[in-house]
Amino acid sequence: MSHISRSLAVAGCAGVSLVICLPAARAEVPRTLNAQPAHPPRVCQLEEIWRVGGESTDLFFGAVTEATTDSLGNVYLLDTQRLQVVVISPEGRFVRTLSREGEGPGEVQNPRDIQILSDGTLGILELFPAKIVRLTPDGEPRGTLVVGAGGDPQSGGFTAASSFICRGGTILMGATRTTQDENGQKRLHYLAALDPAGAETVRFREQTMALDFRDLCFVERELGPPFAGVNTLGPDGRVYAAQDWDRYAIEVYRPEGSLERVIEREFENRKRTEIELRRINALFDASDRNIPVKVTRKIEPRPQVISALHVTDDGTLWVLHSRSIENRPAGVMQSYDTFDAAGRYLGVVAMACEGDPEADGLELLPDGRVLLIKEYALSAMGRTDLGSVPLGEEASGAIEIVCFRPVS
């Protein structure tokens, strides 16, 4: 899935050792440059298990953007418009809803993502101030993990979250720490590991930017660096993150923070389509309406190369990129590049199922199943903090979720 991304807060982490990989240290790291894949392309047929939502059901979704599963096979769907999580059984039956709008225990106001945490609770990531709201599978509140001092004005700034994944007891989070200065804001984007209590343990990447309110210009690639929004955890605790906006390069970090390798592939990016340019400008238009000064912008003519990463239990890396929907065989939704644990390019896997790749999205679930989220692209626009985005002629009917299992 695509994400629209968001300081070193050591003071609140007494006794925690931070490992920071500086640019000089990364320069000598081995780079695995791949040209041709080891195997020819293959098609993965997806078989429908169940579907929910749509026009002919009483189960209504507002805007579904993220999903996960628990050890029993239940699927949790985050509805960022209705501010709740919908639980679906392995057979496709509605089980319950979790959380609701509010500021009380277990309630949310700006949910961004969901994960099953190491203690079996459901964690709902709040965009701002960055925190993880915890609930039992039955919906009982279990406290909140505040990240990077959250929105505490006494800390000298606030933290917003951009990505969130939990695996094997480690929480990986992309976030932005914003502080005010005399002429505007300074933002520190970073990717860090947290312990089960929410304390930062390792910082893998960081990048700074400044906004001058006297001559305010939003530079798209600086507002959301790829590593903060496109990242994942492997089964062995390794961290995978997109390196740059316009390069096919994936950084692989050891759990303690050192950069192990960079996986690359020969790749020529494409230009953004008309619909992509219209959507990204609509997001910035919505932001401009909330700002009392004149704003200019620098929009990238090409999309971000790496848009999603996923690592299976056997260590295979799946990569969704800017050309994943091109040259699709009949019946294919989109394709992924796959790499082995050593970074060798294995080949292209095309997912064969229904769906419109310009409107819908596929979610690779932790247990190997695949979700098709119809109208994902418009749901993702509505979940940002940029304001109310008018969808106009792109607005559609009821959202439908289809769950598949790979059969070949």
Q: How many Cα atoms within 13 Å fall on the side-chain side of residue 405?
A: 8
* Count of structural domains within the chain: 1
Residue 16 lies inside a defined structural domain of this protein: no
CATH at 115: 2.120.10.30
Query: What token pair was written down for 228?
Result: 């903060």
CA–CA separation, 89 vs 201, rounded Å? 35
3-class secondary structure for 187-244? Answer: EEEEEEEECCCCCEEEEEEEEEEEEEHHHEEEEHHHHCCHHHHCEEECCCCCEEEECC
What SS3 state is found at 115? strand
In a domain, 390, yes or no: yes
Range of the domain at 208: 23-406
* Residue 99 tokens, joined: 């959380």
Q: Does residue 96 belong to any structural domain of this protein?
A: yes
Non-local CB neighbours of 30 within 8 Å, separated by 6+ positions: 260, 261, 262
Asked whether residue 164 is assigned to any structural domain, the reply reads yes
Is residue 116 assigned to a domain? yes
Pairing mode, strands 361-364 and 345-352: unpaired
Per-residue pLDDT of the chain (408 residues; tens, 9 = 90+): 433 222 222 222 222 223 333 344 445 789 999 999 999 999 999 999 999 998 878 899 999 989 999 999 999 999 999 999 999 999 999 999 999 999 999 999 999 999 999 999 999 999 989 999 999 999 999 999 998 765 455 556 889 998 999 999 899 999 999 999 888 999 999 999 999 888 899 999 999 999 999 999 999 999 989 999 999 999 999 999 999 999 999 999 999 999 999 999 999 999 999 999 998 998 899 888 888 889 999 999 999 999 999 999 999 999 999 999 998 888 999 999 999 999 999 999 999 999 999 899 999 999 999 999 999 887 777 655 555 555 554 555 689 999 999 998
- Residue 12 falls inside a structural domain: no
The answer as to whether 297 is a domain residue is: yes
Residue 263 lies in a domain: yes
CA distances from 119 to 50, 122, 136 (A): 28, 9, 9
